Chains A and B, each alone.
Chain A
Amino acid sequence: MKGSFLLAMLMLAPAEAEVRDRARAQSVLETARNAVKHADAKAARREEAAAKLKEAEAHFQSARYEEAAQAADGAWKLLSTSAASQPTAFTVAVDDKGSTTVTSHSGQPVRVDAEGVTRSVGPNTSMRVTKGQPPPEPKPLLSVPLPTQPSDKLKLSVQPAKGGLGPITLAWKAVEGAESYEVELVPVRGEKRVLTATTAQLKVALPAGAYRWSVRALAREARGEASPEHGFEVAEAPAKSIKLEVQSTKWK
C-alpha cells in the first residue's frame, strides 16, 4: 500500500509542477498577446514587443515554460511603459443574477476570464458576462445622452391631460449605438419612476410638482452612464378667461 502511494507520488509530483508552470506561462502569454494585439500600430516599441512575443511562443512550443513566461512578460513590459503612465481605471458591476459588467475607462486593458476563456477589455469598451457563459467580445462604450428639453430648472405651465398635466416632452441628444433609453424621473415628493424610450424623446403626463430626471443609453449588452440630472417644475396653467358680451335685448 505504502509502496504504491510512493510510486504515485513519484509519478505525479513533477508532472504537477510542469502543469503549473505551463498554466502560468500560458496566462502571461495571453496577456502579452492581448497587449501586442491592442497596441497602437505606431507605438514606439511594438515591433520589439512582437519579436519578444514570438520568442516566447517558440519557448512555449518547446515546453520551456519558465523562459516562455519571462519572454512574454518582457513583451508586455515593453508595451506597458507608455500605457502605464496613466492609471488603469475600470468598473465591475454584479447584478442580482450574478451577471457581471466590466467597463474599462483608462490605462491598460483588463483581462476577463470565464469558463476557461480569456478576453481583453480595452479603454472605453465594456462587456457583460452571463453566469456560466464565456466572456463575449467587448463593445464600445455608449456615450452619455445630453438632455435638451426642458431646459434645466424650467417652470412649465401646462393643461390637464389624461394621467396628470401635460404631456411634457423630455428630449435629449441621440447616442450612436443606442437601441433604447432609460429615463429616471424622480419627483421631489413621491416615488421614482423608470421609463423606457425607443427614440431620443419621451412624452409623459405628470402631476403638478418639482422633478429631477436623467437619461442613459442602452444596447443589447451595454448600459451607458446616466446623464447629469436636470430639474423642472410642472404647474397647472390658469384657466383661460372667457369674455362674455351680453347685448341689449328688445324684450321688456
Chain B
Amino acid sequence: MNVRWSYMMFVLALGTLSVGCPADEKPPAPVHVPAMPPPVRRAQLKGLQGDVKVKRAAGDEWLPAQEGMALFENDKVRTVAGAGAQIVFANGSVVSLGDDALIGIAETRPRPGQERTDLTVLRGRVDAELEDPAKQSLSVTTPAATVRAGREIVFQ
C-alpha cells in the first residue's frame, strides 16, 4: 500500500509541474540528444568450417565470417550444407552451429549477478553446453518454443 501511495504522490507532483507551465512561455532551447551507445559485443565466432556468413543488425548484406569475429545483438549467422561454427558467449557458454542453419544473436537482458545469453534458432541444429549451469544460463528461442537451461534467476 505504501508503494502505491508514494507512487500516487510522485505522479501527482509530475502533473502539477506540467499544469504549472504558462502557455506563453518561450519555446525551450533545442535539447541535445546523446548519440546511440555503441553495440555491445555478445559473442565470438570460432571453429569455422566451410561457408559461414554473418549479417549485421544494421546491414542487409551477408558477409563472409572470419575466425574470432565479434557478434553483436541482432546479428545473424548462416551456414550452408557441410559448414559449421562455434559461438562462444561472453559468459563462457558455447553453442555449436550445425550445417544448413540460420540463427540470430538475440538481445540480452542481464539481471543482477547473472549474465543471460539469448539465441534465436530459425533453422537447423545447435548443440549447447553450459560449463557452470549454477552461474550461467542460456535461452534459445525457436519458432515453436523457448528452451531455457541453467539457473532461472540469481539473487544477490
Interface residues of A (CB under 8 A from B): 2-3, 6, 9-10, 13-14, 17, 24, 27-28, 31, 69-70, 73, 76-77, 80-81, 83-84, 87-96, 98-100, 102, 107-108, 110-114, 129-133, 135
Contact = CB atoms under 8 A, between A and B. Distances in A.
B33 interface: no
Interface string B116-153: 00000111111111111110000010111111111111
Interface in B2-42: 3-4, 7-8, 11-12, 15, 18-19
B44 to A, nearest CB: 19
**Size bin of chain B's contact surface:** 35 or more
A93 B134 contact: no
Give the one of B12, B145, B146 with max A CB within 10 A. B145
Contacts of B132: 84, 87
Main SS of the interface on chain A? mixed
Nearest to B3: A14
Main SS of the interface on chain B? mixed
A88 B148 CA distance: 11
Nearest to B18: A2
Contacts of B4: 14
B145 A93 contact: no
Given A28-B153, A73-B155, A90 B134 contact: no
A27 B116 CA distance: 15
B144 A88 contact: no
Contacts of B123: 94-96
B143 A131 contact: yes
Nearest to B120: A94
Given A10-B11, A14-B4, A80 B144 contact: no
Given A87-B131, A88-B130, A100 B142 contact: yes
A84 B133 contact: yes
A94 B142 contact: yes
A186 to B, nearest CB: 13
11 contacts: A2-B18, A73-B151, A80-B134, A84-B134, A87-B129, A87-B130, A88-B133, A89-B127, A94-B143, A130-B144, A131-B143
